[in-house]
Amino acid sequence: MNAFEKPHVVAVPFPALGHFIPFLDLAKLLASNGLTVSYVTTPANVSRLQGYLVQALNDGLDIRLVALPTPPVEGLQGCESNDLLPPESRNLIFDLAKKLQNPFDIWMEQQFHQQTAAPPVCIVYDMFMGWAVDTAQKFNIPSILFNTCGAFAISLLHSISCSILQNTLEKDGEDSLVLSFNMPRPVRLFKHEVSPAYFNPDLSSSIQRFVRQCHQEIGKCSGILINTFNELEPLFVQHLKTLTGKPVWAIGPVHPQNLSSGAGNVNTRGKMADIDEQELVCWLDLHSARSVVYVSFGSFTALSEEQTHALARGLEASEQPFVWTIKVTPKIESASSESETDHISTYLPEGFLERTKGRGLIIRGWAPQLVILSHLSVGAFISHCGWNSALESISLGVPILAWPMFGDQHFNSKLFAELGAGIQFCQNRDEIPKEESIKKAVTMALTGDKREEMRENAEKLKVMATNAVKVEGSSATDLRAFVSEMHKLNTRPSKEKEETESNS
């Protein structure tokens, strides 16, 4: 088959690592199933992300990183991804995302007149790049939403957004509410688990209104790809099908599961790891099976000085081995250079590093997370429960000790607690965890009574995830069904093709 016979899919991620990474994994999956994938973002992001694709490109996968010209956004100063910005400037990334529509439309136009790949058959877009639906309509091709969070979370976010719009949010006392509108079963939530902006539409910023709108509009697309597996949340995968009336392909986990075969260099996944992989693995090898707790809060969340201090005290008190990835809040003036300052040590209790020497490994900056989670010595993950991290953890059999902070993280934490593979020990962005609750959570997961039960439940989920991506598994079957749709579309005339043909 030559390149022109391959269906050409265009992927449009939101400019944040928690979105770039699953889109890169998706691009690899689609390309290894015979599709051409154009992965469209901005120049600085192309430079940062291309390392993770080197192996895939050497293996002959047809993935094209496309750098659209960066539209000017006041205040961004060269930062093109949310992890490079301090919290107060992160909303600017939504402005950048919106402004990419125009250069994207121009690039799309060119795709129907160039000779190096077949014209696109569809756009696979991120929830926060909703304008891609209009672009797809313009070119008479389908728009497929790639949902980078889970089916349970997206069902809840949709229900909350719609309930607020229709004023039907059911309060359950002062502190909690019950979500039943457009839900397959009622779910009780504490108020702190839902972003405050949802409760006060007058005060919410345009970005928060925009995010709410994205959740309301999940049915605008032609179909949904979702980074989950059916067995994990069957009720909610089915619910999305019923709710939208569109095809829903649950194809996850999309991350490379078998690191020993063809995963490529996972220490460049997202960013170049700030630790030598060999050194890390040697350190992990020194510890017995399931004895180490891994601590990380995703690609951009940095703890405050007080929170870092509290966590350090809890880890020390637990007396268990740990690997802790510490991030610092970027400063806008140094953000584009990605400098990680070394004032982390000053956040830690005096003498902490010396006292935990040998028992604790600190990674300043970026960790090769999949390498850590797939190592046999890792027995628990202190995580903010971002969907990628949570899915990676349970699909590698590691129970989660959750400290959800915002967005969908509380919902993910709830899901894994319901499945018996996680517990929550702290809640919210601003909370300072108690030393005792950290110690209790860590010892419980690594040495305590609940250890076997949590491990068994996580192990069951791992087996389910592994089976889902095997040839006859649910995710592999959905992936084949999606690829087959793309082949059908490749033979269907687009509006541009129709016009060219009728003009000639």
CA separation for the pair 14, 20 (Å, rounded) = 7
Question: CA-CA distances (angstroms) from residue 157 to 185, 189, 309, 481?
Answer: 14, 12, 33, 27
Q: Residue 82 or residue 320: which is nearer to ligand UDP going by CB?
A: 82
Query: Considering the complex, what minimum distance in angstroms separates the CB of residue 16 from ligand UDP?
Result: 6
Residue tagged 């033979």 (tokens): 491
**Cβ nearer to ligand UDP, comparing 295 with 486:** 295
Closer Cβ to ligand UDP, 299 or 457, answer by number: 299
| Four-residue CA torsion sign, 338, 339, 342, 346 | negative
Shortest Å, Cβ 402 to ligand UDP: 12
Q: Which is nearer to ligand UDP, 107 or 300 (CB)?
A: 300
> Strand pairing partners for 120?
8
Rounded CA separation 341/326 (Å): 11
Q: Cite the beta strand spans of 272-343 per DSSP E.
A: 292-296, 322-326
Q: How near is the Cβ of 355 to ligand UDP at its closest, in Å? A: 24
**Which residue number, 17 or 100, has a Cβ lying nearer to ligand UDP?**
17
**DSSP strands (E only) in 127-284:** 143-147, 170-172, 176-179, 187-190, 223-226, 248-250
State the burial class of residue 44 (Cβ atoms within 10 Å of its Cβ: 0-12, 13-18, 19+).
middle
For ligand UDP, give the closer residue by CB, 133 or 362. Answer: 362
Smallest gap from residue 267 Cβ to ligand UDP (A): 9
- What tokens does 388 get? 């990628």
Using the Cα atoms of residue 345, residue 350, residue 353 and residue 359 in order, give the sign of their dihedral. negative
* Chain positions contacting ligand UDP, by CB under 6 A: 17-18, 21, 269-270, 296, 298-301, 325, 366-367, 369, 386-389, 392
As a whole number of angstroms, the distance between CA 387 and CA 29 comes to 19
CB of 22 to ligand UDP, least distance (A): 7
Query: Nearest 5°: CA angle at 475, between 451 and 2?
Result: 140
| Cβ-based nearer residue to ligand UDP, 177 or 400 | 400
Q: What is the 3-state secondary structure (H, E, C) of 379-415?
A: EEEEECCCHHHHHHHHHCCCCEEECCCCCCHHHHHHH
Helix or strand holding residue 244 (H, E): helix 234-244
State in angstroms the smallest separation of the CB of 31 from ligand UDP.
19
* In the block, residue with structure tokens 């076997």: 452
Which residue is associated with the tokens 């929170």? 307
CB of 493 to ligand UDP, least distance (A): 38
Catalytic residues: 19, 126
Nearer to ligand UDP, 304 or 484 (CB): 304
Q: How far is the CB of 85 from ligand UDP (least distance, A)?
A: 13
Residue 190 phi, psi dihedral angles, 5° rounding: -80, 150
Residue 240: closest CA among 254, 252, 258, 228: 228
